[in-house]
Amino acid sequence: MLSDQRGDAAAPDVERWAKKIAGKLDDAIKVDVSYESDSNTFIVRLAKNARVLLFRFSEAQVHEANREGECEKTLQRKIKDLWNLI
1 domain-assigned = no
2 domain-assigned = no
What average pLDDT does this structure show over 4-14?
A: 94
61 domain-assigned = yes
41 domain-assigned = yes
42 domain-assigned = yes
Total structural domains within the chain:
1
74 domain-assigned = yes
What is the three-class DSSP state of 58? strand
45 domain-assigned = yes
Please report the pLDDT score of residue 86 as a whole number: 57
Specify whether the CB–CB gap between 69 and 77 falls below 8 A.
no
- The domain of 37 spans 7-85
Q: What is the pLDDT of residues 70-79, one digit of tens each?
A: 999 999 999 9
46 domain-assigned = yes
Residue 9 has pLDDT above 90, yes or no: yes
Specify whether the CB–CB gap between 64 and 7 falls below 8 A.
no
Q: What is the pLDDT of residues 27-77, one digit of tens each?
A: 999 999 999 999 999 999 999 999 999 999 999 999 998 999 999 999 999
